[in-house]
Structure 1
Amino acid sequence: MFRTIKAKFIIGFFVIFVLSFLVLNQTVKETIWSNNQKVVTSDLVDLKKNSIVYVRQAFLINHYKSNELYFSDMATDMVNDLTHSTGSNVSVYSVDGELLASSDEAAFLKKSDEDLKEAISGNTAYHIIYDRSKAEALFSYPVVIDGTKVGILRFSKDFSLLYKQSGEIVDFIFYIALAIFAVAYLFSYILSRNITIPLTKLTEASSDIKKGNLDVDINFHRKDEIGQLAVNFNEMISRIKDQISTIEKDRDQLKELNEQEKRFYDNITHELKTPLTSILGYAEMIKEKGESDQKFFNKGMNHIIEESRRLHNLVLKLLEISRSSSINQKFDRVDAGGILKDVCESMSFRAERYKKRIQAEIEENLYVYGQADRLRQLFINLLDNAIKYSSANSEIMVEAKAVEEKIHLIFKNPSPPFEDVQYSKLFQPHYSASNQTTEKGSMGLGLSIVKAIVEEHKGAIKMFYEENQTIVAMEINRLGEEEPS
């Protein structure tokens, strides 16, 4: 059965405190009783010394000889004198244990005589008799005069007051210790609750998280380890949420890419199928009619040539997309500015056909390490894209200049805007911003080729919309910087 930490704390503290209380109480009791034993022993030793002095003086004063007869003669006097001087009941016995005189025979009758037996054997002995609230010590020792045992003295001394006071001390310590341990246990209980309640909440929260509920927020207004644990727990939940959000975004992007790729291949299938079907149809008709219809023959051949060129251009663009880099081509010292000027001049005729103009501002000596053919293709694609999608009767602006160790190239053309998110996606090979604006026969692949060429030259490119113009900005390292490899 599952046992909570709180229950373990309570049971553990209870066992510890009970055992500690019992051990302390027993230790105190034994210590006090041991001290009482020492006090009793000390008193009885003094009693023996004083009584021996008295007996010796009595023998000296009365000139008694050291024999039992004279000891028994003075027994009554010894009992009276010692009872008066010691405040104890006294009995005098012969060396055989026969009672000779006693101050109170009832104090010695019907009580243990182990101490008397020891004295008969020649030993000093005592034992304590406890009777309810009373404590009485029976003490016996043999009296020896000049090396001869002449009799036995036995004392009955009351130590009730000593043991009563000791008992009161033991009771007082018992109740004080009980109160202290009760307070300590209560404090431990509160402390255990203070520790276990947050842990219980953390356990419940972790169970909710395991079930998929991430809307968990734990707030412990504490500045200890548990408070820090709660902060770490909340941060962990926040990071999990961020990770899940990232995964969901990646999943959505992957789904979108898959859909774009499907649309791309659907379009490419259609684009390839159309010219092939047209070429095949005209070829079969020409084969049937031969040169009998010269007008149809010329028309068919021209159509086959146009469709073949269209198909050829389309295949070349597809090959450009599938090509990741041009590592096998050599990089040379190239005048990027000169190439751009030539492209602007050659593309100006195409722009005029669309009733548009190209305005170029290009600095001299813009040398880079690169591939002239690839850079020319880069500039052609950018200008071709600007011509196609710029507004009617507009002016396309081209700038190229050196800025520190970089060459900055900017292409601007007035145009209606796309959505902001589309500008970051236009360089994707499978993305088309608008099916309506795509030129017939074009797959919209030019910008993806542009991006590939820029990356080959270790440059950077971006597209954005500003002041009613679509702007393409890129930068390439000038000669003397890191050479492409």
Structure 2
Amino acid sequence: MKKKKTLSTQLTFVISFIVLLIVGVFWMANNTLLEKYYVYNKEKEMLAVYKMVDLAAKNDKLSDDTFAVAFEKKCVGANIDAVVFNKYGKVIIEGTTDNQEIFQLLLEASMSSYSADYNNLNMTRQKDKRLGTEYIIINNRLIDGNFVYMKTPLESIKESVSISNRFFAIGTVAAIVVGVFMAYIVARNMTRPIRNMTELSTRMAKLDFDAKYIDTENSAKELYVLGEHMNELSQTLEQTITRLKVANNELQRDIKKKEEIDEMRKEFLSNVSHELKTPLALISGYAEGLKEVVNDDEESRNFYCDVIMDETDKMNRMVMKLLSLNHLEDGSDVLEMTRFDLTPLVRGVIDSSKLLAQKNEAAIEFDRTDSVYVSGDIYKIEEVVTNYISNAINHCTRGGTITVSYSMYSDRVRVSVFNTGEPIPDKDIENIWNKFYKVDKARTREYGGSGIGLSIVKAIMELHHRGYGVINHKDGVEFWFELELFIANNQ
């Protein structure tokens, strides 16, 4: 797309061109006509002096002292050499001419005649070959028979023209600079309201409707009306787009919610069917076996019944956890925030988990006895601690150690549960918080894990708006969560 010039640039160019055109015309006129104009005026001055002398001759006042002073003053002021003399060469009155020239002019003067017509005077141009100077000369007979001789050099005119041209050149440069600058200022001032409206329209195009046109330049009526209409347009567009955004956001929320519900439904059905498939198959198989060995020994019947009851208990616990997680995720489970001592809570969970730890030949270490007051939902935090410790017991190496510890900060406490064992593979770190995700599905099956416990931890901690996570170590894995800490002075 061809690059467009701004309106102020175009106006500056146009005004500058007009200034340059006017200055150029005057420059050409000055160089071609000024000298002619000077010569024309000089001839008029010489004619005026001649008329003055001719009138004095008619009135017989050439010898009058008053006329002599006026005559000399006129000649000096007009830079005219003039002399009036008789036919014998005697000077009657002179302006600035040297007397020695009179005798050289007698022959020429004697050949001149009186002319009553001033337009037909003997006015000529002569050039002094020795000096190379050109003169305007009047050599004429007066009515009383005397002669008048007048001359003025053209060099002074040419010099005046030259000086005038140089001065005009300097003035021209100054006029051009000032003219262009003034053209720029005028164009800028004239187009400032338009530039403001252009900026306003640009911001409107970017949906910035805070921009308003304010007439601070006392603009022309048309520009003022246009600015007001743009303000009205901006307000109307803002209102319309706001309504569209609200409607669009509601639609997006509805679509997203529907997609989430559909995705959760599909995921739930897939995961539940997958998790229930194995226990149902075991229950079905052992139920058939129980039926077949119903008449056999009591020990076999008890074993079959124990397996069926164990699998039923696993399914029941998984369903209860799913219901709990569902309540947490859909927001229907509200936190009951209280201030409680964290240490007895952790100690209670450890005590209730000792039998499971002994079964897995794992030792649980927790050496804190001091009170640590925190803020949270005590029952849900207990569930977080239970899931962490249960998870640590199930993944701890035989004969390994589980360490529960605190890390105290100025405004929070971090609870860490570390178990010795194999670190979690890097590819699984981000997924362990997802529902039904299991790093080691075969081993998880051994202790009845459903892959829901860490998802519950995630949901509870996000409801508390507190941090949680997992850290791999060389000799094991550390799970942690944080709670707001109450300072002892405020207890």
The alpha-carbon deviation at position 466 of structure 1 amounts to 3.5
Q: Deviations over 1:255-312 (max 9, x none)?
A: xxx99998986554222122234434555777x8796667576555433322211111
1:24 aligned residue: 23
* 1:326–1:338 Cα change, 3 Å: farther
1:52 aligned residue: 52
Cα distance in 2 for partners of 1:14, 1:449 equals 74
Task: Give 3-state SS (helix, strand or coil) of 1:361's partner.
Answer: coil
Decide which of 313, 317, 322 is 1:313's aligned counterpart.
317
The alpha-carbon deviation at position 346 of structure 1 amounts to 2.3
The alpha-carbon deviation at position 326 of structure 1 amounts to 7.0
Percent identity of paired positions between Structure 1 and Structure 2:
22
Cα distance in 2 for partners of 1:339, 1:426 equals 25
Decide which of 447, 458, 461 is 1:454's aligned counterpart.
461
Decide which of 299, 307, 318 is 1:303's aligned counterpart.
307
Task: Give 3-state SS (helix, strand or coil) of 2:319's partner.
Answer: helix
Does residue 274 (structure 1) correspond to residue 278 (structure 2)? The answer is yes
The alpha-carbon deviation at position 136 of structure 1 amounts to 8.4
Q: CA RMSD in A?
A: 5.8
Q: Deviations over 1:394-418 (max 9, x none)?
A: 1111224765554442222222223
- Normalising by structure 2, we get a TM-score of 0.53
1:233 aligned residue: none
Cα distance in 2 for partners of 1:323, 1:373 equals 14
Cα distance in 1 for partners of 2:158, 2:118 equals 34
Cα distance in 2 for partners of 1:434, 1:283 equals 28
8 Å CA contact 1:334–1:367 kept in 2: the answer is yes
Does residue 442 (structure 1) correspond to residue 449 (structure 2)? The answer is yes
2:483 aligned residue: 476
Task: Give 3-state SS (helix, strand or coil) of 1:396's partner.
Answer: strand
Cα distance in 2 for partners of 1:475, 1:363 equals 19
2:419 aligned residue: 413
Decide which of 380, 384, 403 is 1:378's aligned counterpart.
384
Q: Deviations over 1:18-73 (max 9, x none)?
A: 7655432321344564686366435523542354235414642699xxxxxxxxxx
Q: How does 1:382-393 map to 2 (within 5 A)?
A: 382-393=388-399
Cα distance in 1 for partners of 2:36, 2:156 equals 7
Cα distance in 1 for partners of 2:273, 2:35 equals 110
Cα distance in 2 for partners of 1:433, 1:480 equals 39
* 1:289–1:420 Cα change, 3 Å: closer
8 Å CA contact 1:337–1:400 kept in 2: the answer is no
- Normalising by structure 1, we get a TM-score of 0.53
The alpha-carbon deviation at position 176 of structure 1 amounts to 10
8 Å CA contact 1:415–1:468 kept in 2: the answer is yes
Does residue 353 (structure 1) correspond to residue 364 (structure 2)? The answer is no
Cα distance in 2 for partners of 1:58, 1:333 equals 134
Cα distance in 2 for partners of 1:289, 1:173 equals 131
Cα distance in 1 for partners of 2:281, 2:428 equals 34
8 Å CA contact 1:428–1:448 kept in 2: the answer is yes
Worse-matched range after superposition: 369-378 or 288-297: 288-297
1:198 aligned residue: none
Q: How does 1:181-260 map to 2 (within 5 A)?
A: none
8 Å CA contact 1:362–1:401 kept in 2: the answer is no
Task: Give 3-state SS (helix, strand or coil) of 1:23's partner.
Answer: helix
Unaligned segments of structure 1, at least 5 residues: 64-75, 109-133, 181-257
Cα distance in 2 for partners of 1:344, 1:98 equals 139
8 Å CA contact 2:403–2:419 kept in 1: the answer is yes
Cα distance in 1 for partners of 2:451, 2:306 equals 26
* 1:91–1:416 Cα change, 3 Å: farther
* 1:374–1:456 Cα change, 3 Å: same
* 1:362–1:16 Cα change, 3 Å: same
* 1:405–1:16 Cα change, 3 Å: closer
8 Å CA contact 1:28–1:170 kept in 2: the answer is no
Q: Deviations over 1:170-194 (max 9, x none)?
A: 99899999999xxxxxxxxxxxxxx
The alpha-carbon deviation at position 431 of structure 1 amounts to 4.4
The alpha-carbon deviation at position 361 of structure 1 amounts to 1.0
Unaligned segments of structure 2, at least 5 residues: 64-84, 98-104, 126-133, 175-261
Q: Deviations over 1:363-411 (max 9, x none)?
A: 2333444444323322221111111222331111122476555444222
Cα distance in 2 for partners of 1:157, 1:431 equals 123
Amino acid at match of 1:44: K
Q: Deviations over 1:118-162 (max 9, x none)?
A: xxxxxxxxxxxxxxxx99899xxxx9x9xxxx9xx9999898657
Does residue 397 (structure 1) correspond to residue 403 (structure 2)? The answer is yes
8 Å CA contact 1:458–1:476 kept in 2: the answer is no
